[in-house]
Structure 1
Amino acid sequence: MLAGSRALTLFRKVVCVEPDDDAPPTDAAAALRLIQDQRSATARRLVPDARLIYWPWGVAWLVGFGLFFLRLTPGGKALVPLPSWLPLTVLFVLLAAAGAIQAVVSTRAYGQVIGDSARRGKWYGYAWALGSVSVYAGLGRISEHLPPDQGALLWSATAVGLTGALHMAGGAIWLDRDLFRLGVWISVINLIGAIAGPGWHALVVAVAGGGGILVVGALAHRRQRQQS
C-alpha cells in the first residue's frame, strides 16, 4: 500500500547542486545558503507530498471498514441498513483510487531516481502485488465455507496483517522509522481486532488503522515543511 513512502527518506540522502551561470558566492555563508537552497529544491522534486502518499489510504480504511462496521456490528445487528455489496465495493473502489494516486505521485518522483533505490522500489512493488494476489486467491477458496461474519473477519484480518508486515519490511529496507512504526501499529491493532472478533475488527481498523494512517501522513508532511 504505501510503497511510495520510501521517497520521504530520499531527501536525507541526496544532494544535487545544479550548474549556475551566476558568479560563485564570495563568502562561506553565501555558499552554505546556496547548498541548502539546492538541497531543498532537490528534495521538493524527489520527495512527493506525504499527504498524497498516506491520506488516500487512510480515507479508504476509515470509510471502507467503517461501512463494514455499520452494516454488521459485534452483535450481528446492522446499525445502518446497507446493501450487502456496498461496504466491499466502496472499500475496493477507494483502495484502487489510493493505489492510482500513489502510482502517479511515485512515478513523477522516482522517474528521476536510478540505481539501487529504484530497483528496491520496483521489487517492493512486486512483493505487494504478488503477495496480495496469492493471499486473496487462497482466501477465496476458504471463506466460502465459513459463516459470513467469520469469512469477513478472515479476509479483513489477513489483508490488514499482510499490509502491516509489508510496511515493516519497507521500513527495514529504507531504514524509515515512520514506515516501520506504522507497520507495527497496523499489526498490533489487527491482532487486537481479530481477537475481539467480527464487527469489532472492522471498527478497530477503521478508527485506529485509518485514523493512524492519516495522523502519520500529517506528521510526515509537517517534517517535510520543517526540513525544506
Structure 2
Amino acid sequence: MTPIDDDAPPLDPAESLALIERERHNLGRDLAPDPRMMFWPWGLAWLVGFALFFLRFGPDGRVFVDLPEWIPLSVLALLMITAGIVTGVAGSRVSRRISGPSSRQGIMYGVSWSVAFTAFSILFAQFGNVLPEDKAGLLWAGGMVALTGALHMAGGAIWDDRALFTLGAWTSAINIIGILAGPGWHSLIVAVAGGGGMIAAGLIGWLRLR
C-alpha cells in the first residue's frame, strides 16, 4: 500500500526549524519592497543633484562649471520628485498585500516624512533671506539631510532594521562632516558619500533578499 502524506514520518526538530526559517524568509522576501527601488532613485538624485551644486557653487564661491544658477536646484528638485514617485509606487504594491499594525505603521511613517519636510521648509524660508547666499544654501541642504538621517534611524528602530538604522547614522555623520567643512564641500560630501551610501544600501539589501 502506497503511504499518503498523513502516513509520512514527521520531520525531526532540526529539519522542522530549518523549514520554518526558510518559509519565514521567503514570506519576508515576498512582502518586502525591492530595496533597489527604495534607495537607488534617491541615491541617484543626491549624487547628480548635489554634484551639480558643487560644480556651480563650489568652496569659497568657486565656479567649476559655469551653469545657470537655476539648473542645480531645478535638477535636484525634479530628481527628488521622480524618486518619490518611484518609491511610492514600489511601496504601494507591497502595502496592498499587508493589513493590520504593519500597514498602519508604514502609512504613519510616510506621513511623518511629508509633515517634517513641510515644516522644515516653512521654517528655513523664514530665515533664508537674512543669511548670506552660501550660508542659506548650507542651512537648507544641511537641515534636509539631517532630517533624512534622523527619519531613517527612526524607521530602523520601528522595524528593527539594522541596515536602515545604519544608513541613517551614516547619513547623519557625513552631513555633520559636510556642515563643518562648509558650503561647497558639503554638496560634494553629500553627493558622493550620501548618494553613494544609498546606492550601496539598495544593492546590499537586494543581495540579502536573494
CA distance in structure 1 between the partners assigned to 2:66 and 2:101 by the alignment: 51
Q: 1:47 aligns with which of 12, 32, 37?
A: 32
How far 1:47 moved relative to its partner? 1.4
Post-superposition CA distance 1:166-212 (Å, at most 9, x none)? 11111111111011111111111111100110000000000010011
How far 1:28 moved relative to its partner? 4.7
2:77 aligned with 1:63 = no
Q: 1:210 aligns with which of 162, 187, 195?
A: 195
Instruction: Label 1:64 to 1:27 Cα distance change in 2 as closer, same or farther (>3 A).
Output: farther
Instruction: Label 1:25 to 1:198 Cα distance change in 2 as closer, same or farther (>3 A).
Output: farther
Q: 2:73 aligns with which of 75, 84, 88?
A: 88
Which runs of 5 or more structure 2 residues have no equivalent in the other structure? none
Quote the residue 1:191 is aligned against: 176
Quote the residue 2:156 is aligned against: 171
* Pair member with larger Rg: 2
Larger relative helix fraction: 2
CA distance in structure 2 between the partners assigned to 1:146 and 1:199 by the alignment: 16
Post-superposition CA distance 1:28-59 (Å, at most 9, x none)? 56x96976775565334311211111111100
CA distance in structure 2 between the partners assigned to 1:42 and 1:115 by the alignment: 16
Q: 2:142 aligns with which of 157, 161, 164?
A: 157
Q: TM-score, normalised by structure 1?
A: 0.83
Q: 2:130 aligns with which of 145, 159, 165?
A: 145
Which runs of 5 or more structure 1 residues have no equivalent in the other structure? 1-21
Instruction: Label 1:28 to 1:188 Cα distance change in 2 as closer, same or farther (>3 A).
Output: same
Runs of 4+ in 1 over 2 A off after TM superposition: 22-29, 31-45
CA distance in structure 1 between the partners assigned to 2:96 and 2:6 by the alignment: 30
Quote the residue 1:107 is aligned against: 92
Quote the residue 1:223 is aligned against: 208
RMSD value, Cα: 2.1
Aligned residues: 204
How far 1:71 moved relative to its partner? 0.2
SS at match of 2:60: coil
CA distance in structure 2 between the partners assigned to 1:172 and 1:40 by the alignment: 20
Task: State which drifts further: 80-89 or 37-46.
Answer: 37-46
